[in-house]
């Protein structure tokens, strides 16, 4: 989990208290963090041109760099020692509406569009709050702003225009494949003896314009103990070689001649879960993916015994609804809604 993901996870978990911490600590803008005060605090009839421009610059700048988040609804002021720091809350009016405006604007602000941008709302319960925009590093970069026509990168705490020579040096190289994992899962079932059972397909996809060769996937799972267990299955041994180690690590490697084309989705592993209390240990899930010539992507998800018990109790109370059964699976495997990168929950 990178710095941007850590920030958005903390804000998602703590809500406005996390924003208060950023202000109290006089958090400065940095490579992965930008504060924005909406030009009209979201009170206008639509997303203002100023806010559209700020979002476009952030998508280009963060997407062309290492990714980052924008916290809408915080006033940022210069400090001689600390730089630009969070100074005050200037909340967004009707943040859910503001989020919908941002979502509608994203696809038309850069060329090519950045499909990985997502937004979350921090609502204060009184009709105001904040919107957090997460812009991950893009593997379809470079992204060019439409108005004005300009490329940006993140330099320190600023979005800086990129000269043509610099851009050529950054993106003139041959594209490299980038492998991410996703989940394919039906709703969980409540079986005899209070067993929460589900089977998930662990998918791989190539989010780049380059063909991936020798793709690999390693999954380390530490079950929560007691009578719970997790089993691995291999549905496509024609194209993947598989092995298991130490009773908790499952590994697959694409066979010679098997290539993963851009945006193709494959399922080399299926995991079956039987979860039943008590849960004396934490649940740990660590996924490593990659391929020849690419960087390694790692995803780690931990669920403490107390948290796992709370998730299970909620499932028992609400299991009659399909939404609750799907939410149970998502929380267990560390999935996300939407269609983002590693950790995405593919709802099928």
Do 183 and 290 lie in one domain? The reply is yes
Do 183 and 300 lie in one domain? The reply is yes
CA distance 318 to 316: 6
For residue 81, the model assigns a pLDDT of 63
Do 166 and 286 lie in one domain? The reply is no
Q: Which of 107, 137, 171 is the last residue of a domain?
A: 171
Report the domain count for the chain: 2
Structural domain boundaries enclosing 115: 3-171
Q: Which of 119, 136, 171 is the last residue of a domain?
A: 171
Do 102 and 249 lie in one domain? The reply is no
DSSP 251: E
Q: Which of 137, 171, 205 is the last residue of a domain?
A: 171
Write the CATH number for 11: 3.30.950.30
Do 9 and 147 lie in one domain? The reply is yes
pLDDT for 302 beyond 80: yes
Average pLDDT over residues 247-271: 94
For residue 29, the model assigns a pLDDT of 86
DSSP for 6-67, please give it.
HHHHHHHHHTHHHHHHHHHTTPBPBTTEEEE--SSTT-SSS--HHHHHHHHHHHHHHHTTT-
pTM over 0.75: no
The H-assigned helical ranges of the chain are 3-14, 16-24, 49-63, 95-106, 164-171, 305-318, 322-333
For residue 101, what pLDDT band results from cuts at 50, 70 and 90?
very high
Do 87 and 223 lie in one domain? The reply is no
Do 339 and 198 lie in one domain? The reply is yes
Do 255 and 321 lie in one domain? The reply is yes
Write the CATH number for 244: 2.60.40.10
Q: Comparing 287 with 139, which gets the higher pLDDT?
A: 287
Do 13 and 160 lie in one domain? The reply is yes
Interval 67-88: pLDDT, tens: 999 999 999 887 656 567 888 9
């Amino acid at each position: 989990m990178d710095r941007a993901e850590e920030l958005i996870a903390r804000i998602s978990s703590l809500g406005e208290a996390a924003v208060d911490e950023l202000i109290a600590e006089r958090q400065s803008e940095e490579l992965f963090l930008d504060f924005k005060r909406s030009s009209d605090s979201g009170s206008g009839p639509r997303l203002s041109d100023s806010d559209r421009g700020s979002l476009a610059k952030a998508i280009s700048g963060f997407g062309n760099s290492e990714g980052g988040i924008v916290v809408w609804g915080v006033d940022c002021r210069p400090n001689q020692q600390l730089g630009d720091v969070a100074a005050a809350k200037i909340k967004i009016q009707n943040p859910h509406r503001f989020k919908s405006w941002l979502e509608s604007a994203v696809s038309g602000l850069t060329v090519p569009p950045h499909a990985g941008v997502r937004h979350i709302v921090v609502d204060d319960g009184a009709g105001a709050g904040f919107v957090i925009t997460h812009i991950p590093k893009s593997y379809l970069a470079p992204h060019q702003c439409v108005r004005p026509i300009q490329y940006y990168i993140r330099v320190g705490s600023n979005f800086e225009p990129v000269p043509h020579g610099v851009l050529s040096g950054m993106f003139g190289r041959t594209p490299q494949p980038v492998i991410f994992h996703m989940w394919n899962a039906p709703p969980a079932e409540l079986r005899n003896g209070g067993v929460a059972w589900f089977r998930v397909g662990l998918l791989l996809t190539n989010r780049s314009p380059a063909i991936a060769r020798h793709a690999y996937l390693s999954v380390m799972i530490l079950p929560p103990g007691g009578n719970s267990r997790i089993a691995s299955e291999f549905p496509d041994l024609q194209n993947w070689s598989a092995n298991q180690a130490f009773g908790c690590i499952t590994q697959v490697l694409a066979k010679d001649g098997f290539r993963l084309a851009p945006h193709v989705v494959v399922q080399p592993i299926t995991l079956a879960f039987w979860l039943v209390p008590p849960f004396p240990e934490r649940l740990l899930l660590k996924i490593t993916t990659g391929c020849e010539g690419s960087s390694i992507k790692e995803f780690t998800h931990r669920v403490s015994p107390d948290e796992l018990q709370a998730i299970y109790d909620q499932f028992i109370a609400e299991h009659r609804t399909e939404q609750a059964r799907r939410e149970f699976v998502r929380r267990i495997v560390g999935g996300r809604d939407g269609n983002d990168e590693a950790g995405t929950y593919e709802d099928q």
